[in-house]
């Protein structure tokens, strides 16, 4: 009787532990995405300054600047879902990279201190977003493993937890950003 009681008690403790662990892992994924979200906002907020500084010098790049401005206004829509935000960020990264490459043709812009500061802040934000994406993916992998493996899968079924997709990391974010590519291209 005592043995049966001990076994039941142990099973209850293990169940509580696994249940808590699943909840914590799910919360971790939400928390990890909010970090990406905060960093995306920080990056989107850099754009007005960047466009303002650049347009004084890059009179022949109006197409590129218009695209960036359009993406910025799309990004400021409060009703965007997570995927849309990430897509805008990816497009924005691509366009701003194009802008940075063309800076070489505008020596006055290259010498502008506020532009250099913005360029550095942009690079830093890219690295931080890459890090936040990797943190999110680590949290998702942890969560997916927990809900797919036994005995977590039983609790996941009860809680109606489903597998979440990981974010694809763009090829450009897999390596370090090269200072040479950025400043001497």
Partner 1 sequence: MTASAPLDPATMEVLNVLEATRIALRKKMMIHIVICCAGAMIAVLGFMSTLIPIGIIGIICLITGFVLMSISSTAVDQYRLDFKQKVIAQALHTIDDSLEIDPKRGLAENEFIKSLLFNRRPDKYRSEDLVEGNGGKTKLSFSEVQAHYKEVTNTKRGRQETWHEIFSGVIFQADFNKHLKGTTVVQSRVFGSGISDWFMNNVQLFSGDDSRVKLESPEFEKTFITHSSDQIEARYILTPLMMESISTLNDRCKYSISLSFIGNMVTIAFPQSKNYFEAPLFKSLMTDGLLKEDLELVRHIYQVIETLNLNTRIWGKD
Q: What is the DSSP letter of 103?
A: G
For residues 86 and 92, what is the distance between their CA atoms, to the nearest angstrom?
Answer: 10
Instruction: Please identify, using beta-carbon distances, which residue of 107 and 151 lies nearer to partner 1.
Output: 151
Using CB under 8 A as the criterion, which residues of the chain lie in contact with partner 1 when the complex forms? 13-14, 16-18, 20-21, 23-24, 32, 35, 117, 120-121, 123-124, 127-128, 130-132, 134-135, 137-138, 142, 146, 152, 174-179, 182-183
For residues 74 and 80, what is the distance between their CA atoms, to the nearest angstrom?
Answer: 9
Give alpha helix (H) positions in the chain.
2-55, 62-75, 82-102, 107-111, 113-148, 152-159, 171-174, 179-183
Instruction: Please identify, using beta-carbon distances, which residue of 64 and 131 lies nearer to partner 1.
Output: 131
Closest distance of CB 155 from partner 1, Å: 12
| Residue pair 32/136 in contact by the 8 Å Cβ criterion | yes
Other CB atoms within 10 A of residue 161 CB: 20
Closest distance of CB 136 from partner 1, Å: 9
Instruction: Please identify, using beta-carbon distances, which residue of 34 and 66 lies nearer to partner 1.
Output: 34
Closest distance of CB 63 from partner 1, Å: 27
Closest distance of CB 69 from partner 1, Å: 25
């Amino acid at each position: 009787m005592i043995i049966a009681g001990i076994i039941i008690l142990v099973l209850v403790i293990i169940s509580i532990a696994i249940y808590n662990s699943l909840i914590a892992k799910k919360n971790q994924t939400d928390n990890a995405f909010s970090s990406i979200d905060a960093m995306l906002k920080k990056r989107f907020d850099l754009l007005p300054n960047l466009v303002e500084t650049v347009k004084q010098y890059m009179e022949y790049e109006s197409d590129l600047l218009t695209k960036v401005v359009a993406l910025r206004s799309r990004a400021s829509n409060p009703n965007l879902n997570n995927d849309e935000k990430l897509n805008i960020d990816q497009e924005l990264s691509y366009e701003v990279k194009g802008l940075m490459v063309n800076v070489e043709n505008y020596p006055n812009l290259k010498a502008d201190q506020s532009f250099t500061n913005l360029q550095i802040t942009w690079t830093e934000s890219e690295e931080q977003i890459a890090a936040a994406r990797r943190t999110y993916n680590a949290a998702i992998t942890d969560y997916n493993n927990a809900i797919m493996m036994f005995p977590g899968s039983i609790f996941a079924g009860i809680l109606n937890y489903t597998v979440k997709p990981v974010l694809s990391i763009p090829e450009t974010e897999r390596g370090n950003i090269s200072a040479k590519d950025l400043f001497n291209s």
